[in-house]
Each structure stands twice: as structure tokens, then as C-alpha cells.
Chains A and B, each alone.
Chain A
Amino acid sequence: MSRLFFHCEHRYPGGFRLDAAFELEEGVTALFGPSGCGKSTILAIIAGVLRPERGMVRLGDRVLIDTSRGIDVPPEKRRVGIVFQDHLLFPHLSVEGNLRFGLKRGASRAIDLGRVVDVLELHGMLHRSPQTLSGGERQRVALGRALLRGPELLLMDEPLAALDAKLKDQILRYLAQSFVEWRVPTLFVSHDPADTRRIASRIIVMDAGRVERIEEPMSRETGLPGTGKTAEEG
């Protein structure tokens, strides 16, 4: 059984229509395509923050949403971690408070706070307020916070967008270390072909709300081979 099965349709008031289907195995997969092709919509549907008009999402043996059977698991029960593009750290909590947020609410698999702090090098900033962090630091805290929830699937929205080359290299290193350390199946969104090839072991190429094709390069950074296949070639 595949790790994630996704087949959903969703229409926006403006007329844009998403109709995409794919399956994921372990490893790191990229959703690649131009802006507005429906990548972020797919993440929102999987995380449970957007309800599709029609479709089904299954994670492992759990159905997260199935509109035909009226199943819609609320986001807090999905065990899907998400790192938002603008991080969305809680401004009223310290970095440590942010990291512990998901941990306190019953992480579904044991990921050690100390180890996350080590791997993502968060030592010096635990007692600081998120507002005082740089973009790269916030990115690491957001990743740590999502990981500490112990997700069965990690979603990342444009993790490398808006970073300069040096910072991009640094974040890539942290991402790669996290993938190797915790092996959380990851789906990330990107519109940059170079970034996509650097992280992903599998690439789902999208255009205008549909899956165009699936590519399977070997990732140089993470070295995790992919085995994805598409359920419906666009």
C-alpha cells in the first residue's frame, strides 16, 4: 500500500480547477510547477485546512478525507505536519514554546526535543521571541516544530523561496539532515527546478491543476531513491 494516495477535485470561484491524482511512497517528493497551478491547494487539502469539492486522500491505512463517504478527519487528528511558506510561528510564545506546541499535544511518534535542537542547531535561540529571528532561523524553528509533532507525512510550502544562495545552502543542509535522521515522508512545493532537483528523489510535475508527469531523479543532497507512480497521468 502506498504511503499517500491523493485524488481530489476542487474548483475556485475564479474558475480555476484542480483535478489531480498521485501516489507517494517513502522519501522526499516535490510538487513542481508554475505559480497558481494548484500545488499549495494540494498541501492545504492534505493538511485538512481546505475541504475539496470531491475526492479522497488516504495516508497509510487511514482515510483522511473521502467526500463520497462523508469522511473528513479534522487537521489536529491527521498527523500531517506542515511548514508554511511564511512559517507562522506563534508570536506570543518563545522558540521553545513553539517547538513544544505539538509535543505537548501528544506527538504520534517519539521525536526527541534535544535531538531536534541539536540537528537544527537551535540551542542559542530557545528563549528568544520568534520576531527576533532571521528568516533562516524561523524556517528551522518551523521545521523543528512540525517534526516534534511526530508527523506521518511532512508538507513544506516553498521551503527555499525567498532565500539567498548562501542561506539556501544552509537550509538545504538542515533539510537533508532531518530527512536522513527521521525519515519522515515529505512532500514539498517548489516552482524552482534547480531547488527541486537538489532535494527531491521524485518530482510530480504539475500544470494548470493537473499532474503532467512524474520524474524520478536521484537526489544529490538526500540520496533517497524514489519509487513514485502516478494514479492518473495528466
Chain B
Amino acid sequence: MTEAGPAPYVVLSILGLLSTEEWQAVSLSVIVAVTAVASSLPFGIALGWLMARRDFPGKSVLETAINLPLVLPPVVTGYLLLVVLGRKGWLGGFLERWLDVRIVFTWKAAALASAVMAFPLMVRAIRLAFSAVDPRLELAARTLGAGPVDTFFSVSLPLARHGVLAGALLAFGRSMGEFGATIMVAGNIPGETRTIPLQIYGALESPGGMERAAMLVVVAILVSVGALATGEALERRGRAKLAAKR
């Protein structure tokens, strides 16, 4: 993150009331949340569809595993991620030895922690959306020559798009607020892994912290409202497109 250069943050801090470090936290939060949502969305869609449309042995076990981050203390989830992704963890060790990639205590770990924590919310919304699609429309598509994959992309997914968007927005919001798992697996490194919640927590420990924290709270609210408004706008555009056909 720091290699990107401090220039944009300087510009932003001149424009507003936040310090360069605080702006870094804001932009890092957005980058982490967008990365978390973008990288987990394909898996969220696949699992949401699977849970809505298929019965298979072990379905309830899979469902429990997906929902686990919802009920576990975030710090526990963070600890488990650290065990798996740490230098001595089976995945972390493999990545570092063979691909020279280090995850823990980088912004990638913050994105991964956010993705894991937000995943249950994303899958839940997408699953509901697929459940609401009339399965007979999928059968109709099959009789018209569309194979299973074609049917998914031409009928099921377009009809579930509102739920997919809602799931992505929920996950974005959850990622913006992620704290416990992030601090365990990514630490609290300014400009690298210090997101808005960590910055707010840190601000409270310094003199005049309440005021600094208040600024960040306002920014956090603005970013979240902006995300919701974007979702609304996309939704409206979709509806307008459909209405134009009438």
C-alpha cells in the first residue's frame, strides 16, 4: 500500500480535515473491503446457488461451516486464520516457500479476514435470491436448448441479481467494520493494515482522541451511505432498463 506513494493522501488531507494517516486508513478500508467482496463474490454466488438448489450429503455441515464466523468471536476466527496462514501454518508456509507470498500482517490478510467475516451474510442474501427464482423457469430454459451452465448464466443469475447485489453490499458494509479478526491476522500497521476501525480505536488512546475519532466516524458513515446509495442507483438503473422495454 505504502509503495503507492503518499501523494493522493496529501492532496486529500489538504482538501479536508483528516490527517494523511487518517486518509490512508480510509482509502485502505475501501481497498480492503472492495478486494474482500470482489474475491469472495464468485464463491458466494456458487455456494448460494448450491445451498438454494441442491440437496447433498453434508449440506448441513457445510452450512454450519459457512455460518461459523457469524457466531464465533471475531478474534477466534482471526486466531484460526493466523494458524492456517502464518509462516508455520500449512497454507501460509506453502505460499511463502513455493510462491514467495506472505499473507499475514499485510493488507491481503486484512482483506481475507474481512472476506471470511462477511461471507455468511453474502451467502445468505444470495441463497435467498436463488430460492426465490421459480425453478420451472430454469426447466423452461433447458427445454429451449440451454444446458445447465447456460441456464445458470442466462436465467438464474440475472433473476437473482438483486439478491447478489444486496449480498455484495452487506459484505462491503461488514468488511468496512471488521476489527477483531483483522487485528489478529493483519496487525495494526499504519498505511498497511490500519483500517478505519483500527484507526478509531488507536485515536482514542491519544490526547484529543475523541475528536479525531469523531471525524473518522463521520467518514465511515459517509462511505457506508455512499455504498448503499450506489446499490440503490444500480437497482434503479436496472428497473429503468426493464421499464423501458414496456
Q: Which A residues contact B (CB, under 8 angstroms)? A: 47-49, 74-76, 78, 80-82, 84, 88, 90-92, 94, 101-102, 105-107, 127-129, 131-132, 145-146, 149
**Bound-complex Cα distance A146 to B139 (A):** 13
Residue pair B139, A75 in contact (C-beta under 8 Å):
yes
Residue pair A128, B246 in contact (C-beta under 8 Å):
yes
> A residues within 8 A CB of B134?
88
**Bound-complex Cα distance A11 to B142 (A):** 24
**Bound-complex Cα distance A157 to B156 (A):** 23
**Bound-complex Cα distance A127 to B147 (A):** 26
B5 at the interface (CB under 8 A from A): no
> A residues within 8 A CB of B52?
none
The one of B139, B145, B159, B242 that contacts A105, using a Cβ cutoff of 8 Å: B145
> B residues within 8 A CB of A101?
141, 144-146, 154
Closest B residue to A150 by CB, please name it.
B145
Residue pair B146, A76 in contact (C-beta under 8 Å):
yes
Residue pair B145, A88 in contact (C-beta under 8 Å):
no
B155 at the interface (CB under 8 A from A): yes
B150 at the interface (CB under 8 A from A): yes
> B residues within 8 A CB of A49?
139, 142-143
- Shortest B130–chain A CB gap in Å is 14
**Bound-complex Cα distance A47 to B140 (A):** 10
B245 at the interface (CB under 8 A from A): yes
Q: A105-B150, A129-B246 are in contact. Are A76 and B159 (CB under 8 A)?
A: no
- Shortest B37–chain A CB gap in Å is 23
Residue pair B136, A105 in contact (C-beta under 8 Å):
no
Number of interface residues of B (CB under 8 A): 21
Q: Which B residues contact A (CB, under 8 angstroms)? A: 134, 136-137, 139-147, 150, 154-155, 158-159, 242-243, 245-246
Q: List 19 A–B pairs whose Cβ atoms lie within 8 Å, in order of A's numbering.
A: A47-B139, A48-B142, A74-B142, A76-B143, A76-B146, A76-B147, A81-B144, A82-B143, A84-B140, A90-B155, A94-B245, A101-B144, A105-B144, A105-B146, A127-B245, A128-B245, A128-B246, A131-B246, A149-B145
Residue pair A74, B159 in contact (C-beta under 8 Å):
no
> B residues within 8 A CB of A76?
142-147, 150
Closest B residue to A107 by CB, please name it.
B145
Closest B residue to A129 by CB, please name it.
B245
> A residues within 8 A CB of B139?
47, 49, 75, 88
Residue pair A88, B140 in contact (C-beta under 8 Å):
yes
Closest A residue to B137 by CB, please name it.
A88
Residue pair A92, B142 in contact (C-beta under 8 Å):
no
A-B CB proximity, top 5 nearest = A105-B145, A102-B144, A75-B142, A88-B140, A129-B245
Residue pair A84, B136 in contact (C-beta under 8 Å):
yes
> B residues within 8 A CB of A107?
145
Q: Which of B137, B147, B154, B245 counts the most A-chain CB atoms under 10 A from its CB? A: B245
Closest B residue to A106 by CB, please name it.
B145
**Bound-complex Cα distance A132 to B245 (A):** 9
Residue pair A74, B147 in contact (C-beta under 8 Å):
yes
> B residues within 8 A CB of A132?
246
- Shortest A55–chain B CB gap in Å is 19
- Shortest A49–chain B CB gap in Å is 5
Closest B residue to A133 by CB, please name it.
B246
Residue pair A129, B143 in contact (C-beta under 8 Å):
no
